[in-house]
Every structure is written in structure tokens, then in C-alpha cells.
Chain A
């Protein structure tokens, strides 16, 4: 073969060309990312250095009182370095984060994309637990060292290529920033992972400054998808606002911080996600809605699918029909074994879909009582796990369980279908619905319960005066604001009842949390309630007497309170927490997750808390019951009462 250039030369040229191309590519990619990525790597070095120093100090320490004080100082120094990378850590690898700064030694988690799996155990370690360990009377050096060594080991994971590689995607920045802003509203100001309350605001200040550098380095590395001037300006104002606020988290103005700073920043970040066409590849964003325009908008995250079997139907008229059918079924005692009980028997629609008269619900036999209080169905849609013990993962499964439970409605699928289809009106409607669910051969219980969940699910989409203040700048009473600030600080409510739903679902809103409170069986605190709670579903030392944290929205109208309905007024509930729960009342609750120390709230503070809770009453428009139920071909069924007899 003849060539114009000798083979040797050709080889040379090609090698040189490849070298030039690759160096151009390399320098380009390097230039493109270096400022932002280098900041990440440098900050990790800093953190690692402090953690290693802490470990060596522990090794050489005798754990005397003076040295414990020194170690505490060193932990705080390391914590501040941690806050410098917190922005990335939580988003890039949340599992490892629990080893670096886990809030609890053992956590049982059921995350949303693993709803079908069993809950799994995660051992926490790191700085928060090390700091708490220093308070123990008997200290063991190895245990302390283990907590710190785990952090060092876990922090190595963040240097893996699979993680650092994601720093070159601009999308990851905006998604991590979203989680950061949500955490600013829900956990960073409440002491969720900060045992020393004196450090909460100083740590917040330090973190805000650290993130400012992250922002400016990001903008340098990604000029075509940068943050807007408007965003950066507001962020700088946020920093000065926090710097001008008192350093005590109890004096800090949480309300203004969220309303005027964090939420508007969140809104802008959502716009970046939209305009820059950011697409997530992380489980962290599983439930979050890119179109949501406020933290206090009810579309923020998606926990339950109210449509169930009708998920693919989008025709408004048909959906309206399904809803109306759901309403009829909700009030129809035909779903119960004796045709005398309906959903509305316990979930009274005019009483916020709960029963405010009974401590715990009446059983099917009409004499005995169930062990638990009827929960309100409003805002149930914002939980990943349902029932107080988290037994169910979907609203439809929960509804089926009630219908088939011998102590509740005591019926079964076959009987329910037979009776429902004996009514001409239902039969015609469900025949049409069946055609819209082609995967089903026949009308099932799922068709029935999905109509019911779709009906009541809509009542969760109303807003409260507090939401209106946050979303639309509507005025809110000063007392309510003070109550909110207490809620997020001194009263320690916000560490379990998270913004914005004030339930047990915290950013990134993927799981439901359970807490052990030591709720008594009687108001005299003679003994703890004998309900084992979550233990029934997931037996473990930590889950004994644990219950899913409920929302405090509409609490004024949903008495009685706690799983067993032991308290009748909000004041009683606040007093229970004020005194440190069951253990604070001298009950033997070994695994209580609620702080045992009294909160020492004053009378005025308790009133302010109540005022805040009342500002979360949603302006729900309730409907009147249906005027009549469909006629059945079985004459005996036509005597049934709308809403049931008991």
C-alpha cells in the first residue's frame, strides 16, 4: 500500500494529534470544573484532618473532666468543618451521612422506594453521638473512638469517583441546593442534629457563609447555568439577617427566616430546575415535585396515590364521577358485614373525618372498643406509612383492611362486591369503570376502595392561615408567630413535627418517622399504655411503644389526642411534653426518644404554642352527606341508613 507520508511519520503525527486533542479536552474539563470541585476536595481534606486530630486526641486522652472539655471543643471544630460540606453530603450519599453525623444510634427505616421491603436497621455514628457520649457518667475510650473512627471511614466514601463525578453535573448542584433549602426550613434551626443548643445558630451562621463560597465557585465553573443576581442578593440578605438575629435559637425569628428568606430562595431554585431542564438521577428527589412553587404548597411532595386503580384516568368528567361514587360508598353501610357501619361511622366527615366524642373507636360488636383513637383522614395523604404503627403502605390497602377486619367492618371482598353490584346504580357505574381498567377482568374490591380514597383525598388540599401567611404574605397574629418560633426552638416540637406538614416526614420527604413518647394508659400516670405500637409490625428494642408521628394540622378540631385518645385538650398534650413525656412523669420508659428533661415552658409560652397550632386549622369546605343511597335488588338492604347506625 502506498501512502504519501511514511508509516513512521504517520504514527508520530497521530500520537501528537491525540496528545493535543486530549490535552485540550483535559484542560477544558479541568477549567470548567476546577473551582467548584476543588472547593469540595479541599473542604473534605479539612474535615478529614479535624476528624483525624480528634481521633488522636481521644487516643491520648484520659477522659478526665478537663480533657473532656477539650474533646468537646475539638468536636465542635470538626462539626464546623462538617457544616462546610453538609450541602453536598446529604444529597450525594445520605446513608453514609448517618455515620458521620447520625442523630440516633439505631434507626429503623422504610424508605419510599422500598415500600415493599422490610424496614432495615441503620447504625448511626459520628459527631452528634460522640458529643452526647461525653455526657455519659461512665465513659469508655474505645466506644468514643469507634464513633469518631466510623466518621473517618464513612467520609472516604465521598471521594469515590462515582460521587465526585457528579460534581461536574450542573443539575446535581440545583438538586442539592433544593435539599439544602428544605433543610434550612425544617432541621437546621431546630437542633435536630445538634445536642448543644447554644451552637445551633453559630453553626447555622458558619454554614450559610460556607455555602456562599460554594455558590460563587459554582458560578465560576458553570457560567452558562449560573445562579441569578437576584438569588445571590437575597442569599446575602439572608446571611445578614441571621447575623443580626440573636445567637440563642429560642430568641431567633424562625418565622421571618423561613417566610422572607428560605422560602423565596426555594421558589427561585425551583425556577432554575425548570428553566435549566434539570433531571434527577437520585433517589433523594423521588417524592419532590419540580413544579411546586412554595415549601408550604401542598404539592411539595407526593406520598400517596389517592387514585389507586384509576391512576391512568385523566378525563375530568370521569374523575368527577369516580369521586361522587366514592362519596356514596363512604357513607354506605353496605360495605360492612351487618350493613350497619360505614366509613363515616368513625371518620365523621363534619368532624374533620375523625370521631371527637369517643376516646377510642367502637368495635363491630357495638360494645367493646378498639385499642386506638380514630385518626383524621385529612392530610393522611402526606404520610408514606399509614396507621399509627405504619402497617400499611397505601391508602387502598388501609381501606381494604378496615372492610375485612372482623373487629371493624367485618366483611369480605366477595360479599362486598355481591352486595354493591346488587344495586343497579353502582353496577352500571362500575361496569363503565371496569372498561377503563383493562388489566382487570372483573370488578374488584380495589375498584371500590380506590373510589373511596379518591373521594376523601381531596379534603387534604385546603390551606390554613399559617400557610396563607407563608405563601401569600397574608397577615398573621403576633402570638401565632411567637408560638411558631417556640415550636421550632425551646419547645422542641419541630425536631419531630417537621415543616411544612408538621408530621413525621422530614426532607427529602421519603419516610415516616416513629417516636417513643411514653404515653400513659391513664391520666394519673400509673402505667404506660400497653400498646406496643410499631413493635407489632417490626419487632425491635427501638420500636417498642413507638408510634408514627402525626400531623398537628387541624389539631384543635381532632380531639382526643395520642394513640389511645388519653388527652382531651391541647393544653393537656402540651403539659405532657413540657414535663418530658412518660419518663418525665416517672414512668419506666427505657427507650423514650423524647427528651426527658422538662421544657420549662411558661403559661404565656404554652398559650402562644396553642395559638400557633390553631393557626394551622385548615379552611376546609365540608360537604353534606348524600341524600340517598343506591337501591338494591335485595329489599333487606334498602333499609340501610346513610352513614350507618353506629
Chain B
């Protein structure tokens, strides 16, 4: 009997652990509070915005993966430069507010590769 309870307890613990939210961002350790929380907030907003507004064109759809590719820093910088040079001809950037753009870039820059 105790054995079963023990097993159930372990099972519950295991499921709890696996459903716990994985940390998806990579913020350098020297960033202290409250900046860290602010960055996390921006990161989360950027993630939502990316999935809604960007991933239709800039996304990967494979089983078991989310729609966000792992961009390199170079790719993000280059893209920022190109998109910003011609905002009027970009479907999304012509509408976006500078704050929202900042959220998306924060998300892409801080995103842990492979998550």
C-alpha cells in the first residue's frame, strides 16, 4: 500500500516537473533586477507578437517544433537593417509601433537557441 502511494507521489512529482515552464530566454547573468524582469516581460510580449505577425512568412513548421527559427545574431542584425531601411514596403513593419518592434527584437535576441 505504502509502495503504491509512494509511486503515485513520484508520478505526480514527475508530471509536475515536466509541465513546469521551461526557461526559454538567455539573459546574461550580469543583468540584475528590475531590468531582468522588464526584459522577461518584453521577451514574452515579443514572443506573442512574433507568432502572430512574423511567423507566417518567417516560420518553421515541423512536427514538434514551434514556429520560431533559431536566428543568428548576424541574421537578426542584417534583417533589422534591411527591414528598417524600407518600412513602407514591409507588410508588418509599416504598421508596427517602435515599442512593439523592440519587443520582437528583444525576443529574438534573448531566445535560447533550440527552444
Query: Which residues of A are in contact with B by a Cβ distance under 8 Å?
Result: 113, 115-116, 279-283, 285-286, 288-291, 305, 307-309, 311-312, 314, 393-394, 396, 438-440, 446
Of the candidates B85, B96, B98, B103, the one whose C-beta lies within 8 Å of that of A281 is B85
Complex Cα distance A637/B44, Å? 35
For residue B79, give the distance in angstroms from its CB to the closest CB of chain A: 13
A-B contact number at CB 8 A:
60
CA distance A393 to B45 in the complex (A): 21
In the bound assembly, the distance between CA atoms of A215 and B45 in angstroms comes to 49
A113 touches B84 (CB 8 A): yes
Query: Are A280 and B85 interface neighbours, CB within 8 A?
Result: yes
Q: A286-B85, A311-B95 are in contact. List 6 more A-B contacts (CB 8 A).
A: A281-B86, A285-B85, A286-B84, A394-B98, A439-B44, A440-B45
**B95 and A279 contact, CB distance less than 8 A:** no
30 A–B pairs (Cβ distance < 8 Å), ordered by A: A113-B84, A115-B98, A116-B98, A279-B86, A280-B85, A280-B86, A280-B89, A281-B82, A281-B85, A283-B85, A286-B85, A290-B88, A307-B97, A308-B97, A309-B97, A309-B99, A311-B96, A311-B100, A312-B95, A312-B96, A314-B95, A393-B98, A394-B98, A396-B99, A438-B52, A439-B44, A439-B45, A439-B49, A439-B103, A440-B45
Interface size class of B (residues with CB under 8 A): 20 to 34
Closest to B86 in A: A280
By the criterion CB–CB under 8 Å, are B99 and A308 in contact?
A: yes
B56-115 with Cβ < 8 A to chain A: 82, 84-89, 95-100, 102-103
Interface residues of B (CB under 8 A from A): 44-46, 48-49, 52-53, 82, 84-89, 95-100, 102-103
Instruction: Return the contact of A285 from the options B46, B86, B97 (Cβ within 8 A).
Output: B86
- Which residues of A have CB within 8 Å of B87? 286
The B contact surface, by secondary structure, is helix
- Would you give the shortest CB distance from B84 to chain A, in whole angstroms? 5
Contact A282 B85 (CB under 8 A): yes
Q: Is B48 a contact partner of A439 (Cβ separation < 8 A)? A: yes
Query: Complex Cα distance A394/B97, Å?
Result: 9
Give bound CA distance, A439 to B104, whole Å: 11
Q: Tell me the bound Cα distance from A113 to B96 in angstroms.
A: 14
Query: Which of B96, B99, B100 has its CB near the most chain A CB atoms (within 10 A)?
Result: B99
Q: From B42, which residue of chain A is reached at the shortest CB distance?
A: A439
In the bound complex, how far is the Cα of B94 from the Cα of A280, in angstroms?
A: 14
B48–A438 contact, CB under 8 A?
A: yes
Could you say which residues of chain B place their CB within 8 Å of the CB of A116? 98, 102
Enumerate chain A residues within 8 angstroms of B52, measured Cβ to Cβ.
Answer: 438-439
Interface centre among A116, A305, A311, A394 (most CB of B within 10 A): A311
CA distance A305 to B88 in the complex (A): 13
Chain A contacts of B44 at CB under 8 A? 439
Q: Nearest-CB distance from A383 to chain B (Å)?
A: 14
A260 to B76, CA, bound (A): 45
CB distance from A285 to the nearest CB of B (A): 7
CB-CB < 8 A to A286: which residues of B?
84-85, 87
Residues of B within 8 A of A115 (CB): 98
Q: Specify the chain A residue showing the minimal Cβ separation from B94.
A: A302
Select from chain A the residue with minimum beta-carbon distance to B97.
Answer: A311
Q: Which of B49, B99, B103 contacts A394 (CB 8 A)?
A: B99
Q: Residues of A contacting B95 with CB < 8 Å?
A: 311-312, 314
Instruction: List, in ascending order, chain A residues with CB within 8 A of B97's CB.
Output: 305, 307-309, 311, 394, 396
Q: How far is the CA of A393 from the CA of B97 in the complex (A)?
A: 12
Please name the residue on chain B nearest to A446 by beta carbon. Answer: B99
Q: How far apart sit A283 and B86, CA to CA, in the bound complex (Å)?
A: 8
CB distance from A53 to the nearest CB of B (A): 37
Instruction: Chain B residues near A307: list those with CB within 8 A.
Output: 97
Expressed in whole angstroms, the minimum distance between the Cβ of B43 and any Cβ of chain A is 11
Q: Which residue of B lies closest to A397 (CB)?
A: B99
CB distance from B41 to the nearest CB of A (A): 9
Q: Are B89 and A279 in contact (CB under 8 A)?
A: yes
CB pair A312–B53 under 8 Å, yes or no, is yes
Listed residue (A280, A289, A440) with the most chain B CB atoms within 10 angstroms of its CB: A280
